Amino acid sequence: MKNLRLSKSIIGEREVESVARLMLEDGYLGMGAEVKLFELEIAEFLGVDTSNVICVNTGTSALHLALQSILDYNDEVLVPSLTYLASYQAISAANGIPISCDVYEDSLTINLDDAEKKLTKKTKAIMPVHYAGNPWKLESVYKFAQKHNLRVVEDAAHAFGCKYRGKKIGSFGDIICFSFDGIKNITSGEGGAIVTFDESIIDRLKDGRLLSVERDSENRYLGRRSWDFDVKRQGYRYHMSNIFAAIGRVQLSRLESEFAPKRRTIYDEYCQQLGEIPEIIIPVQDNYSYVIPHIFPVRILNGKRDEVRNQLESLNIPTGIHYKPNHHLSFFKDERLKLETTDRIYLEMITLPMHPEITIQDVRNISLKIKNALK
Ligand SMILES: *Cc1c(COP(=O)(O)O)cnc(C)c1O
């Protein structure tokens, strides 16, 4: 099939016009009023106060800033190994230690029984990853955290716009990190946001994105800079650019009317086409969750994954693997570690094309090729 993509930014005239307006009329490209407007609109979308939303330059820096605001040196963070490398690098960048946990076989989200076995005196936080947009058992994660006195940093990179028990991800909880990179549910080119309800870290996060210059955000929103200031801790250049915000604002306005229904229709068609095949397993979702699928991973049983993958690739149907488990990487390796489910399902996983420009016909064609490969 020609020009089929695994994932894709959906950018149109409105985003182009928005950036052109910003560049030609506003002319202020750093962090300024446009970022404040994006934060305001994200806050309105989530139903939270603007002060709870902090835009940054990537999802990874959102995670890093969030973690460095709560971790002490060598604190441990429980995290599923089956996640994007960014989750792990953010923990180690914040001087924390990622403790690799297994996932539930049905949902591919963090297994709380395994997490419980890995608790130590140094455990400070748990980082659930809303895999493919699925906030599976989020309530249990928060109960677990409460029981063991842990902070929760949600890696919600896949889950912007998703809901748990009718409430949007990011409208409740402890610290929630979103990504707006090129292929996420909405994009700002690159970008991310932290949402938190912990008043004690908000200033630290806001300053932290601007080299920890105290109260610099308010000046930037007004197009000013701080010339006389104090700095009390490590900071980073993690603020969002007005250019990113100009793209993100348009994308946000398209999410519920356009992107979400398309992704959900594609998801439903895949389920219809592949759901009955005994050798294919689609990760489950709670019936009380509203998921906007960011990716479409399935498991192919009986050792047939690579054959299916090769056949699809040969037909120009791109596929992916989400993810190579992080405990397999040299930097994060722990030889003692056995993650039974993760290690097994890693060899079964394949991600199929998912983005708003995939058509129903594409899904049917892809599914047919998979069925043929399985014969
Ligand atoms: C995309 C992603 C991130 C990082 O976001 P960036 O904006 O790309 O830095 C973190 N975690 C997960 C699970 C992701 O998919």
**Are 230 and 212 contacting, i.e. CB atoms less than 8 angstroms apart?**
no
Task: Read off the tokens for 178.
Answer: 């979103």
Task: Tell me what pLDDT residue 239 has.
Answer: 98
Largest CA distance in the chain: 71
* Residue keyed to tokens 């990716």: 295
Q: How many Cβ atoms from other residues are within 10 Å of residue 82's Cβ? A: 29
Cα-flanking dihedrals φ and ψ of residue 77, to 5°? -125, 125
What whole-number distance in Å separates Cα of residue 73 and Cα of residue 100?
Answer: 18
Task: Tell me what pLDDT residue 319 has.
Answer: 98
pLDDT in tens, 295-307: 999 999 999 999 9
Q: Which residue has the higher pLDDT, 98 or 2?
A: 98
Task: Tell me what pLDDT residue 286 has.
Answer: 87
CA distances from 257 to 37, 67, 187, 293 (A): 20, 33, 15, 15
Average the pLDDT over 215-234 and give the result. Answer: 93
What whole-number distance in Å separates Cα of residue 91 and Cα of residue 147?
Answer: 22
pLDDT in tens, 314-359: 999 999 999 999 999 999 988 778 899 999 999 999 999 999 999 9
Average the pLDDT over 144-171 and give the result. Answer: 98
Whether 157 is in the pocket of ligand 1, judged by its Cβ within 6 Å, is: yes
Whether 60 is in the pocket of ligand 1, judged by its Cβ within 6 Å, is: yes
Whether 154 is in the pocket of ligand 1, judged by its Cβ within 6 Å, is: no
Task: Look at residue 115 and tell me whether its pLDDT is greater than 80.
Answer: yes
**Are 134 and 289 contacting, i.e. CB atoms less than 8 angstroms apart?**
yes
Backbone torsion region of residue 313, taken as left when φ is above 0, otherwise alpha when ψ lies between -120 and 50, otherwise beta: alpha
SS3 331: helix
Whether 88 is in the pocket of ligand 1, judged by its Cβ within 6 Å, is: no
Whether 155 is in the pocket of ligand 1, judged by its Cβ within 6 Å, is: yes
Categorize the per-residue pLDDT at 287 as very low, low, confident or very high, splitting at 50, 70 and 90: confident
**Are 360 and 299 contacting, i.e. CB atoms less than 8 angstroms apart?**
no
Task: Tell me what pLDDT residue 1 has.
Answer: 60
* DSSP codes joined into one string, 321-366: -S---GGGSGGG--TT---HHHHHHHTTEEEE--STT--HHHHHHH
Average the pLDDT over 223-230 and give the result. Answer: 91
SS3 176: strand
Whether 158 is in the pocket of ligand 1, judged by its Cβ within 6 Å, is: yes
Q: Which atom of ligand 1 is nearest to the CA of 158?
A: 15
Task: Tell me what pLDDT residue 337 has.
Answer: 85
* Percent of the chain whose pLDDT exceeds 70: 99
According to DSSP, the residues that pair with 175 across neighbouring strands are 153, 196
Ligand 1 centroid, distance to 68 Cα (angstroms): 17
SS3 203: helix
With the CA atoms of 31, 35, 36 and 39 taken in that order, what torsion angle do they form, in degrees rounded to the nearest 10? -140
**Which of 61, 155, 188 maximizes ligand 1 atoms within 8 Å of its Cβ, making it the mutation to test the pocket?**
155
Q: Is this model's pTM higher than 0.95 or not?
A: yes
CB burial string 111-135: b at 16+ within 10 A, e below: bbebbeeebeeebbbbbbbbbbbbb
Whether 297 is in the pocket of ligand 1, judged by its Cβ within 6 Å, is: no
**Are 354 and 185 contacting, i.e. CB atoms less than 8 angstroms apart?**
no
Ligand 1 centroid, distance to 81 Cα (angstroms): 14
What whole-number distance in Å separates Cα of residue 46 and Cα of residue 167?
Answer: 9
Categorize the per-residue pLDDT at 221 as very low, low, confident or very high, splitting at 50, 70 and 90: very high
Which residue is closest in CA terms to ligand 1's atom 14?
Answer: 157
Q: Pick from 194, 243, 240: which is nearest to 11 by CA?
A: 243
Average the pLDDT over 201-226 and give the result. Answer: 95
Which residue is closest in CA terms to ligand 1's atom 13?
Answer: 84
Which residue is closest in CA terms to ligand 1's atom 7?
Answer: 59
Task: Look at residue 242 and tell me whether its pLDDT is greater than 80.
Answer: yes
Q: Pick from 15, 124, 82, 107: which is nearest to 324 by CA?
A: 82
**Are 114 and 101 contacting, i.e. CB atoms less than 8 angstroms apart?**
yes
**Burial degree of 239 (CB within 10 A; 0-12, 13-18, 19+):** buried
Ligand 1 centroid, distance to 22 Cα (angstroms): 26
Average pLDDT, the chain: 96
Whether 108 is in the pocket of ligand 1, judged by its Cβ within 6 Å, is: no
Q: What angle do CA 176, 168, 164 make, to 5 degrees?
A: 95
Whether 322 is in the pocket of ligand 1, judged by its Cβ within 6 Å, is: no
* Percent of the chain whose pLDDT exceeds 90: 95
Average the pLDDT over 128-147 and give the result. Answer: 97
Average the pLDDT over 174-199 and give the result. Answer: 98
Task: Look at residue 3 and tell me whether its pLDDT is greater than 90.
Answer: no
Q: Which residue has the higher pLDDT, 225 or 360?
A: 360
Task: Tell me what pLDDT residue 16 has.
Answer: 98
Task: Look at residue 2 and tell me whether its pLDDT is greater than 80.
Answer: no
Whether 59 is in the pocket of ligand 1, judged by its Cβ within 6 Å, is: yes
Whether 82 is in the pocket of ligand 1, judged by its Cβ within 6 Å, is: no
Q: Pick from 139, 132, 126: which is nearest to 157 by CA?
A: 132
Whether 80 is in the pocket of ligand 1, judged by its Cβ within 6 Å, is: no
Task: Tell me what pLDDT residue 338 has.
Answer: 85
H or E segment and range at residue 155:
strand 151-155
Whether 129 is in the pocket of ligand 1, judged by its Cβ within 6 Å, is: yes
Q: Which atom of ligand 1 is nearest to the CA of 183?
A: 1
